[in-house]
């Protein structure tokens, strides 16, 4: 009798559908625990419910890494908090030449733009000289500006973040996915950051009356297939490919942080994989 009961229980267990387990080091929301989990290239990932702040997917969210031009979201908040005139003209000087990475820029020395346009270029196209000029023209100069960036980070509870420059070219600008999610949530409260970071393209008149066309650095914005409310890309060799977004998937606002992806398309592919995963199981994650 006992043998028949035991064999019956085994048959029931074998007939039950297998529950997908998240790979080691990856945690998903309870509502998604039974679903196949995407394998992402990014070394550190955090996806939060934008309304509740609850994590939907996380992978090494406390790992501290270089953040490259994700830095520029903090640069933008400090500029807007300062109350300096966005219409005041600022001229690009030798001080904006990148002597850390020796990167080039289309913003020629002598180009004069309003702070508003510099902020747009810094957020939309990740223009380093634009961000550097914003910091230099801040009351007290770049050193005072960077100090203010770090105070702002502390005020947001970003205890594992430090800034050494306003562009992200300095490899010592480091943070975690947890902290950057806090920064994205704060930056979302600035309408101008939302608008500028998601602008598709913009033309400027540079030195020598040259007209330059700039495009958004985020391929997902350029494609027009996503509902992206705020975003910022980042890249230096030490940081890999980075991306943060506040985006709506289905009917749900999400905060997505992808850090240290290893290939040019890896961060975009990771974002697409997250979206596909969630959209494939709306009854699970939308209820979370």
Q: How many helices (H) and strands (E) does the chain have?
A: 10, 12
Q: How far is CA 50 from CA 37, 104, 146, 217, in A?
A: 20, 36, 28, 23
Rounded distance, CA 158 to CA 164, Å?
15
Identify which of 175, 165, 172 has the alpha carbon closest to the alpha carbon of residue 65.
Answer: 175
The maximal CA–CA distance of the chain, rounded, in angstroms, is 94
Query: Are 236 and 101 contacting, i.e. CB atoms less than 8 angstroms apart?
Result: yes
Left, alpha or beta for 240 (phi > 0: left; psi -120 to 50: alpha)?
left
Active site residues: 69, 72, 126
Identify which of 266, 100, 99, 232 has the alpha carbon closest to the alpha carbon of residue 171.
Answer: 100
Nearest 5°: CA angle at 132, between 239 and 170?
25
Helix (H, G, I), strand (E, B) or coil at 78: helix
Rounded distance, CA 143 to CA 145, Å?
5
């Amino acid at each position: 009798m006992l043998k028949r009961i035991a064999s019956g229980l085994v048959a029931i267990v074998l007939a039950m559908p297998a529950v997908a387990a998240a790979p080691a080091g990856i945690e998903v929301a309870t509502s998604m625990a039974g679903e196949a989990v995407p394998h992402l290239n990014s070394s550190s990932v955090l996806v939060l419910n934008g309304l509740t702040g609850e994590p939907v997917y996380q992978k090494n969210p406390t790992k501290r890494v270089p953040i490259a031009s994700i830095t520029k979201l903090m640069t933008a908040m400090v500029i807007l908090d300062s109350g300096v005139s966005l219409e005041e003209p600022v001229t690009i000087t030798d001080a904006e030449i990148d002597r850390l990475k020796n990167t080039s820029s289309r913003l020629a020395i002598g180009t004069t733009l309003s702070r508003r346009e510099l902020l747009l270029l810094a957020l939309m196209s990740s223009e380093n000289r634009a961000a550097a000029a914003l910091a230099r023209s801040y009351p007290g100069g770049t050193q005072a500006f960077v100090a203010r960036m770090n105070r702002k980070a502390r005020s947001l509870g970003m205890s594992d973040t430090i800034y050494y420059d306003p562009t992200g070219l300095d490899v010592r600008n480091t943070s975690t996915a947890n902290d950057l999610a806090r920064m994205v949530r704060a930056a979302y409260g600035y309408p101008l950051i939302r608008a500028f970071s998601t602008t598709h393209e913009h033309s400027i008149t540079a030195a020598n009356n040259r007209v330059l066309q700039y495009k958004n650095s985020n391929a997902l914005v350029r494609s027009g297939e996503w509902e992206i409310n705020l975003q910022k890309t980042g890249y230096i060799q030490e940081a890999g490919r980075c991306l943060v977004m506040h985006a709506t998937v289905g009917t749900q606002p999400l905060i997505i942080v992808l850090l240290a992806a290893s290939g040019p398309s890896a961060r975009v592919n990771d974002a697409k994989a997250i979206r596909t995963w969630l959209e494939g199981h709306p009854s699970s994650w939308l209820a979370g």
